[in-house]
Structure 1
Amino acid sequence: MINIQAKIAEGKSAGYERWAKKYNRKEVARTVCLLRERGIDNYEELKALTEKFSGRFNELSDEMRKSEKRMVEIGALLTHINNYSRTRKVYEAYRKSGYSRKFFEEHREEIQIHKAAKQAFEQLPESKVPSRRSLNEEFHRCLSEKKKAYTEYRQVKKEMQEYLTAKQTVENILGIDWKKQEEQKKKNIEYRNR
């Protein structure tokens, strides 16, 4: 809901005031309809539902982030595997040349790519480099988990936003100012800890 008095103090016009009043009435009506449809009878129930959906939203966000992170790691590892196999012959020739400076200068880029791939393999938690096939399977599994989580994520996000809006509207109607209450609690705790 819009704080009309604050907006007028900022210099908004009378037309804005009429629009804001109309908007606030619609928001209250929307909230009442939502609460009736969902069978929510009291503020505590609304607060619990808001916390439930916010928690689930955060869980799904974390799951999706983990899947995305792992997919990026797999992509980088696949790139290193491809680079290693592509530059292996050049590196073997470099070793056979006795690590010749002249050979290194001629094939600097391939040798550095090969060394970077080897270094990436050494940083793996397991000593064996996974196969391309197993990495591709894991990538597709992570992708399907992410897609599955995303469908639920969209629905939960919508529900969470509806409940958060309804909760804010109810708090505004009831005159509950949670920020002031939380600040007062923090001040009380600080005072007790002195």
Structure 2
Amino acid sequence: MDSYEDLVALTDKLTSRFSELSDSIKAAEKRMVEIGALQTHINNYSKTRKTYEAYLKSGYSKTFFEEHRDELMLHKAAKQAFDQLDGKKVPSRHALHEEFNRLLVEKKQAYAEYRQVKKEMQEYLIAKQTVEHILGIDRHKRVEEKKQQKEEQR
């Protein structure tokens, strides 16, 4: 590193990459939760299908409904979850399992890089703060200047 500007550029690059990795990990985790919920609904739908069919044959009997309330409510919740797929076909258990495993691998890889980038970012941010302190650079002034430059570019 030859200059303060290089240090600033590197810290900005590391901070940006850190944010990208963090967003990627969060997106993978969110999708994994969605997959888990969908798998649960698929399983519940399969388990309760015969009960629901019997309920239909009973002519929507209130007595039958009360006797099998829990199963019928699970079935209804599963159907509602499938309806929220916006016309998409309900994925197979196998496809969901594969997607979950792929996301898990991607998350683990991203997390390994995330830890490394976080460590480097923190080290360079400390170095940058030290240089700013030694050189008497006012960080607040720099932040305001950056904001002004961005506004001028718009």
Question: What is the aligned partner in structure 1 of residue 103 from structure 2?
Answer: 142
Question: What is the aligned partner in structure 1 of residue 3 from structure 2?
Answer: 42
Pairing 1:83-162 to 2, within 5 Å after superposition: 83-162=44-123
Q: Which amino acid aligns with 1:96?
A: K
- Counterpart CA distance in 1 for 2:128 and 2:51 is 66
> Does 2:18 align with 1:57?
yes
Q: Secondary structure at the match of 1:166?
A: helix
- Count, aligned residues: 150
Question: What is the aligned partner in structure 1 of residue 134 from structure 2?
Answer: 173
Q: TM-score, normalised by structure 1?
A: 0.72
Greater RCO (CA < 8 Å, at least 6 residues apart): 2
**Residues 180, 146 of structure 1: CA spacing in aligned structure 2 closer, same or farther, 3 A cutoff?**
same
TM superposition shift of 1:166: 0.4
- Counterpart CA distance in 1 for 2:105 and 2:146 is 45
Q: Share of identical aligned residues, percent?
A: 70
TM superposition shift of 1:182: 3.6
- Counterpart CA distance in 1 for 2:147 and 2:28 is 37
- Counterpart CA distance in 1 for 2:138 and 2:55 is 72
Q: Secondary structure at the match of 1:125?
A: coil
Q: Which amino acid aligns with 1:133?
A: H
In structure 2, which of residues 37, 42, 58 is the aligned counterpart of residue 76 of structure 1? Answer: 37
C-alpha RMSD of the superposition? 2.0
**Residues 184, 145 of structure 1: CA spacing in aligned structure 2 closer, same or farther, 3 A cutoff?**
closer
- Counterpart CA distance in 2 for 1:134 and 1:104 is 33
TM superposition shift of 1:181: 4.7
Task: Give the structure with higher Rg (CA).
Answer: 1
- Counterpart CA distance in 1 for 2:147 and 2:102 is 45
- Counterpart CA distance in 1 for 2:31 and 2:22 is 14
Moved more, 175-184 or 120-129: 175-184
Q: Which amino acid aligns with 1:103?
A: F
**Residues 185, 45 of structure 1: CA spacing in aligned structure 2 closer, same or farther, 3 A cutoff?**
closer
Which segments of 5 or more consecutive residues in structure 2 lack a partner in the other structure?
Answer: 149-154
- Counterpart CA distance in 2 for 1:184 and 1:166 is 21
